């Protein structure tokens, strides 16, 4: 019995250690980059908050760089009248010809829905905006926002439900995000020149400070980059991780169609006024 009890205790300890290793610790994983004290790491590294007031917003970045990955962040957005505020969570490389994968949450007047703004930049070219309402109140609780980025596609997901797919379209002349390592960044900032109803609604500073909450950052399923621009990836081939070849199955495609049919606000690939001479080449790969 003593041996069995000891074995059980060891098993529990190992499981607890494994769970602790998977859990995000913001002290270890990110650096606060700006905000003069408005960004705070709390609860022994389990929680991070960003705040915005009339003087400044705040932000952080990951210590690691990545070249492909499957990454999650749980975020609870600014509640109440958050009009004019922008909470961002994105991957970005350095330089004038950068790559970038964006989640941006555009604040609202009380009672109006947040707009989730997404974009993809490849070699400095963006203008690939797609926007969505969310099917829940993102200020009531934490929700998981995920980016899958592999050599074939980028998939944006919310609580495990895919909302957008950007496919590798190099075969038709569209540069793909595959050569530049990126960090994760997040910030809370004043975007009232454009964020809410095209900039018509400004920030009500009597409601400040505005605060967003972050927890459970997970980059364990990612290829870590080391050594600067001439560095190397921790992944040596597409067989290292199953997600390196992951694609949407039939069920996931149905879920994405549901989101896009019921909650999509804007799709650049349908904007005839913006592209009167023809849509960007990658739009030909979109099914919805």
Closest CA to 90 of 62, 125, 58: 62
Looking up residue 102, the CATH number of its domain turns out to be 2.60.120.200
Please give the pLDDT value at position 5.
42
DSSP 78: P
Residue 238: the pLDDT is: 61
Domain residues for the domain of 37 are 2-285
pLDDT of residue 131: 97
d(CA 108, CA 201): 9
Please count the structural domains in the chain.
1
Intervals of the chain under pLDDT 70:
1-24, 237-240, 287-288
Give the pLDDT score at 230: 74
Q: Of all helices (H) and strands (E), which one includes residue 102? A: strand 100-106
**Residue 100 annotated to the active site:** yes
Task: Confirm whether 104 is a catalytic residue.
Answer: yes
Q: Are 104 and 145 in contact (CB under 8 A)?
A: no
Question: Exactly one of 104, 129, 165, 282 is catalytic; which is it?
Answer: 104
- Tell me if 175 sits within 8 A of 154, measured CB to CB: no
pLDDT of residue 257: 97
How does DSSP classify residue 113? P
As a dihedral over the C-alpha atoms of residue 51, residue 57, residue 187, residue 227, rounded to 10 degrees, the angle is -120
pTM of this prediction? 0.90
Catalytic residue among 100, 129, 165, 282: 100
DSSP per-residue codes, 254-284: HHHHHHHHHHEEEEGGG-TTT-TT---GGGG
Give dist(CA 155, CA 250) in Å, integer.
15
DSSP 166-229: EE--GGGT---S-SS-BEEEEEEEE-TTTTTGGGTS---GGGPPEEEEEEEEEEEEEEEEESGG
Give pLDDT, residue 237.
66
Phi, psi for residue 192 in degrees, rounded to 5: -75, 0
Residue 287 is predicted with a pLDDT of 57
pLDDT at res. 283: 95
């Amino acid at each position: 019995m003593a041996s069995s009890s000891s074995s059980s205790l060891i098993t529990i300890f190992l499981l607890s250690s494994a769970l602790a290793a998977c859990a995000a610790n913001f002290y270890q994983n990110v650096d606060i980059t700006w905000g003069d004290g408005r960004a705070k790491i709390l609860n022994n590294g389990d929680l991070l908050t960003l705040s915005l007031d009339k003087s400044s917003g705040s932000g952080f970045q990951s210590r690691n760089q990545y070249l492909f990955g499957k990454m999650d962040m749980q975020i609870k957005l600014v509640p109440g009248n958050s009009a004019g505020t922008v909470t961002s969570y994105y991957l970005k490389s350095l330089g004038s010809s950068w790559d970038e994968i964006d989640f941006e949450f555009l604040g609202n007047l009380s009672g109006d829905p947040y707009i989730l703004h997404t974009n993809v930049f490849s070699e400095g070219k963006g203008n690939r905006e797609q926007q969505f309402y969310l099917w829940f109140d993102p200020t009531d609780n934490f929700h998981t926002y995920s980016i899958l980025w592999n050599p074939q596609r980028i998939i944006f997901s919310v609580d495990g439900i895919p909302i957008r797919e950007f496919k590798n379209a190099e075969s038709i002349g569209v540069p793909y995000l595959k050569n530049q390592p990126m960090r994760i960044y997040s910030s809370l900032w004043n975007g009232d020149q454009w964020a809410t109803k095209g900039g018509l609604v400004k920030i009500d500073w009597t409601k400040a400070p505005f605060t967003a909450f972050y927890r459970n950052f997970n980059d364990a399923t990612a290829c870590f980059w080391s050594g600067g621009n001439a560095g190397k990836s921790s992944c040596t081939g597409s067989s290292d991780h199953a997600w390196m070849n992951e694609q949407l199955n039939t069920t996931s495609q149905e879920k994405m169609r549901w989101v896009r049919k019921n909650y999509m606000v804007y799709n650049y690939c349908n904007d005839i006024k913006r592209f009167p001479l023809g849509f960007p080449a990658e739009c030909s790969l979109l099914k919805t």
